């Protein structure tokens, strides 16, 4: 329990403690004033009104983004009019058939890709499988003897599971390792490397340009998982020559629970991309019902089965909040939010009670802050009871995600203050 709940009455309190408390009150007041000033000058602050939010401090957008206000009405139209009235006609009249590539082109600017390289559909896991097996097949076309897949050893578990399955299916050896070890491990046997742009647990941002370059120098293909970076920071897939990439849409892109993922194949690789899941939706003549498979041209060959229209069109509506928004301005605010949060945590949380696992250097930080805390599960439960929502990762990590489109500096100051009161 903290001093402020245990201290004796004022006339019995030592002068030293009085000065400490005066300083604490002053510091809190200063941080609150600064938060208000920062919010007043924030050019993205107006976007908060485009989301369905209450007074809860919501710092879990790196798990599930908040609901954009335009989505319920759009979904109602899709269900009642497009499905309920137009029925089968909506595949053409409402644009259902072209939704995967149309929405892919809407995501493309957020990850630095030109149109025609992204399709939306399936889950992230399915797309990781397509990308990794496809990468091994592409590598085999250019160089014999490439029978090794390198995977981020700290990756989200599913990526590791998929990589292991892809290795078994393609006859490759799987080599899990820390991303920092990848450049020195690359060799003539390396076919593909699967890496996360941002570590889901710590928020560490990895050097996509340098690692992609090293992978290419070794003659291998780079596959990037963008789940914790797309919509929070610049990615620049085209600029850095990334081969294949995947990502979810329910985090910083706010597409809703289970919203379809996306799949990027660099334009010059598309004619040679051999999907391990050749479905009827990726056929050059999908309604020809031919027993022989002929892949569609371009990014369309990344499609598999019938698109999940309800969630896909909800995602399309959600992406409208990005109109006129620069990803660079989002990154600037993201860094300012996380900087301010770390400053407030230092001021409010008793020394030694938490430890930041997230790098302090901007070049190595995503849009979340992970704090190690001995009783993290119980602490997060108590924070949520006080309307500060983050999440807990076993065994001892508090995660706080900062979505610049709707999180403000006042939210940040309040979250850190409540954290300090909770663990004090």
Return the active site residues.
156, 225, 250-251, 399
CA-derived radius of gyration, the chain:
24
- Judge contact between 345 and 416, C-beta under 8 A: yes
The answer, yes or no, to whether the previous bond of 395 is cis (omega within 30 of 0) is yes
- Judge contact between 423 and 349, C-beta under 8 A: yes
- Judge contact between 134 and 243, C-beta under 8 A: no
The span from the CA of 86 to the CA of 188, in Å, is 55
3-state class (DSSP) for residue 206: coil
- Judge contact between 404 and 410, C-beta under 8 A: no
- Judge contact between 222 and 274, C-beta under 8 A: no
Sign of the C-alpha dihedral computed for residues 295, 136, 130 and 365 taken in this order: negative
Structure tokens at 115: 């149109």
Structure tokens at 387: 């309307």
Q: Alpha carbon 383 to chain centroid distance?
A: 23
- Judge contact between 257 and 148, C-beta under 8 A: no
For residue 51, the cross-strand partners are 68
The crossing angle, in degrees rounded to 10, of helices 409-423 and 376-385 is 120
DSSP 71: H
The span from the CA of 237 to the CA of 112, in Å, is 5
């Amino acid at each position: 329990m903290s001093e402020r709940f245990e201290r004796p009455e004022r006339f019995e309190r030592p002068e030293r403690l009085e000065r400490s408390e005066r300083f604490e009150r002053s510091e809190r007041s200063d941080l609150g004033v600064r938060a208000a000033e920062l919010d007043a000058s924030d050019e993205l602050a107006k976007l908060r009104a485009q989301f369905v939010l209450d007074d809860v401090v919501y710092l879990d957008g790196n798990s599930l983004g908040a609901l954009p206000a335009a989505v319920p009405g759009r979904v109602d139209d899709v269900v009642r009019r497009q499905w309920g009235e137009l029925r089968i006609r909506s595949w053409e009249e409402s644009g259902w058939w072209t939704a995967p590539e149309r929405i892919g082109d809407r995501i493309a600017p957020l990850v630095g890709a030109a149109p025609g390289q992204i399709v939306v559909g399936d889950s992230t896991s399915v797309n990781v499988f397509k990308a990794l097996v496809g990468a091994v097949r592409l590598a085999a076309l250019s160089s014999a003897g490439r029978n090794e897949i390198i995977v981020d050893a700290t990756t989200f578990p599913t990526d590791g599971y998929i990589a292991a399955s892809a290795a078994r299916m393609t006859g490759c050896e799987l080599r899990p390792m820390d991303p920092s070890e990848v450049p020195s491990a690359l060799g003539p046997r390396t076919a593909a490397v699967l890496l996360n742009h941002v570590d889901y647990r710590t928020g560490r941002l990895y050097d996509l340009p340098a690692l992609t370059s090293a992978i290419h120098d070794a003659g291998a293909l780079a596959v990037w998982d963008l789940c914790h970076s797309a919509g929070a920071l610049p990615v620049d897939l085209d600029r850095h020559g990334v081969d294949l990439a995947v990502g979810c849409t329910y985090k910083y892109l706010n597409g809703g629970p289970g919203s379809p993922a996306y799949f990027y194949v660099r334009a010059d690789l598309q004619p040679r991309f051999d999907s391990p899941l050749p479905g009827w939706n990726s056929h050059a003549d999908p309604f020809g019902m031919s027993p022989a498979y002929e892949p569609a041209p371009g990014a369309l060959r990344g499609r598999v089965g019938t698109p999940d229209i309800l969630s896909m069109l909800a995602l399309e509506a959600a992406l409208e909040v990005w109109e006129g928004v620069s990803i660079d301005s989002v990154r600037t605010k993201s860094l300012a939010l996380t900087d301010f949060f770390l400053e407030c945590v230092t001021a409010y949380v008793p020394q030694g009670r938490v430890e930041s696992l997230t790098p302090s250097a901007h070049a190595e930080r995503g849009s979340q802050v992970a704090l190690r805390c001995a009783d993290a599960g119980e602490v997060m439960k108590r924070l949520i009871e006080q309307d500060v929502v983050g999440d807990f990762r076993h065994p001892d990590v508090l995660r706080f995600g900062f979505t610049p489109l709707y999180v403000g500096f006042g939210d940040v100051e309040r979250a850190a203050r409540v954290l300090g009161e909770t663990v004090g």
